[in-house]
Every structure is written in structure tokens, then in C-alpha cells.
Amino acid sequence: MHAAIVHAFGSPPRYGTVPEPVADGADEVLVDVLAAGLHPRVRSGADGSHYTSDGVLPLVPGVDAVGRAPGGELLYFVALDGEPGTMAERAVADRRRAVVLPPDADPVAVAAAMNPAMSSWIALRSRIGFRPGGSVLVLGATGGAGRLAVQIARRLGAARVVGAGRDERRLAPLRALGADATVRLDDTARLAETAADVDVVLDYVWGPPTEQAMPALLRARKDRSKPLSWIQIGSVAGAEITLPSALLRVANLTLLGSGQGSVSTAGIVAELPSLAEVIPDLAMEALPMPLDRVEQAWSAPVEAGRRIVLVP
């Protein structure tokens, strides 16, 4: 069968042929892949930089997809660990890691949004048990997952949502998506003034922006004993920060991460049905491209709020 194949880390996948996978487990089924999203998580897995990478080549990239089961069911599924990825004509779906979609669901739209939406959905629902009425700051709100995080926080009942990002042009549309206020990441004083008393920070940036934002926010809180959950999700601005020990004492700060490992596979899968229900209401533009153009797709420029989806 045809698939995208990574032959060397640092080079884009090439279109080629690989053996067809075999569904040999009791809950496994071989599906025809209809759409697979080109997410940052897919890119990091394909270049070997993701923390789950085992360094084995060649590999078929892809962490999730929408596919058609032999009986006609439309499935959204998460790829099996240690198996070829989803950027192929066919893939093995485990029903324990899948959700049945409505027959009229748009495979491309679902494939575009589920993975990036999952980052904030899982963080708020599984890592902290977010309750309606709380307030949320999204660092990196102008990226694809960050834009969805603004919408999801509001969907889950946030009373106040603040979006922070580096591109002022991309900040403006966030208000229409549910943000009560927007702030430039590099305007630390205004960030502290606007978002100091939030209950949750969803951090997609890390690195220097977080190093600057964290002390400013913590020291500006009116009641420093009020709990603040700072959830590290992405690291687009850097993989490390310097964290002074005093910041862990100056306020009631809980620093935690959300991703593969910090949440079990079973815990992630349990959230798929409820997340799938809200996907049609979220604003994210899907850009379908044929699988045989995977090399071009890998280097294609994509604006925030859009996601390339490969279609076999």
C-alpha cells in the first residue's frame, strides 16, 4: 500500500509503498484511512525530537486519523503504539482507542481538529478537573492549538479567558472565539495586570516568555494563597526555563504537565467521545492535501488556525 515514509530524521517523508498492516488483536480492525492531520506532534515524531521517539527508521508518521471500518463505520482513532502511523492508505485501529463518528461527520475537519483540541481538553478535564466559573490564561493563544484552547476553555464554562501571543495581528480575532481580553506576550506588565488572578494557565510556549510571565503573574496576584494551576503543554519558544525556587513559595503555584505519559492512554481515550461532540462547533480551517504530495505538505506555510490534512 502507499504511505508517507520517513527515511531520515531531518528530511520530509516521501511517498512510497510499505507492507499493509495486519489487524491481529481482538479489538483491532483494518480501516481505510480517509484523513490524517499534519500536527506539530506528527512533525516532532517524524524528525525524532519528540520525547516518545525510539529513533527507529524508516517509519510511517501519523498519530491519529479518521477511517472507514469494513462495516462502514466512520471512526476517529489514535494510532497504536509501536505500529506504523496513520499517513497511509490503510491503518490498524483499535476500537479501545477509537470513537464512532456520526455518518455525516466531515473526516477532514475531524482529523484537523481532534489532536490540537485534545491538548487543552485533556489538560482541563483530566489533569486538574476544571470547574465552570474558573478563569484561564492561554499562553500561545495565536497558534492552532492555542486558538482551540480559548474556545474549549469557554466551552467548559470558563467565566473569563485571556489569550496571550506574540503576533498582535492574530490576537484580535481571539475575542470572536471567546477571549475576554488579549495581551502581547512581551508586554509583561499588561499581562500581569490583565491575568494575574486567573485559576489556570495553559502554557503552549515555555522558554523565555514563560520565564518572564511567571514571576510577573505570581507577584501581581491579589491573593497569593489562591491556587494557580500552571499546565505546561507545548514548548514552541524553548524546551527549558530557569525557575527560581522562590517562585514556588511566593504563591500557591502548582506546576504540572499534560501530554502522553502524564495522562494514561485509557484516560485520553475516555475523553474522545465528549470531545468529538464539540469538534463541529470549534473554529479551525482544514487544508486537505493528497497523500502523494506529502513532501510539499511538509514544507507548506500554514497560518494560525489552519491545519493541513493528508488525504490518501
Confidence label for 155 from pLDDT (cuts 50, 70 and 90): very high
Cβ atoms of residues 307 and 285 within 8 Å: yes
Q: Is-contact 296 128, C-beta < 8 A?
A: no
Which pLDDT belongs to residue 258?
Answer: 96
For 116-257, CATH gives: 3.40.50.720
CB 139 within 8 A of CB 203: yes
Give just the sign of the alpha carbon dihedral 8, 9, 12, 15. Answer: positive
Mean model confidence pLDDT for the chain: 95
Looking from the CA of 161 toward its CB, the CA atoms found within 13 Å total 26
Cβ–Cβ < 8 Å for 182, 212: no
pLDDT digits (tens, 9 = 90+) for 97-141: 999 999 999 999 999 999 999 999 999 999 999 999 999 999 999
Amino acid letter, residue 235: S
pLDDT of residue 49: 82
Which cell numbers hold the place of 194?
490583565
For the chain, how many helices (H) and strands (E)? 10, 15
- 8 A C-beta contact, residue 95 and residue 124: no
Residue 54 confidence (pLDDT) above 90: no
Q: Is the model's pLDDT at 46 over the cut of 90?
A: no
Spatial CB neighbours of 48, under 8 Å, sequence gap ≥ 6: 9, 55
pLDDT of 266 reads 86
Q: For the chain, give every domain's residue range.
A: 2-105+284-311, 116-257
What pLDDT, on the 0 to 100 scale, is given for residue 36?
A: 98
3-state secondary structure of 260: strand
C-alpha cell at 170: 492574530
Q: What is the pLDDT of residue 52?
A: 77
Class of domain 2-105+284-311: alpha beta
CA distances from 267 to 30, 118, 138, 192 (A): 24, 12, 23, 34
- Residues 6+ away with beta carbon under 8 Å from 127: 229, 231, 256, 258, 262, 263
29, 95 Cβ separation under 8 angstroms = yes
List phi, psi (to 5°) of 200: -140, 140
pLDDT of residue 47: 86
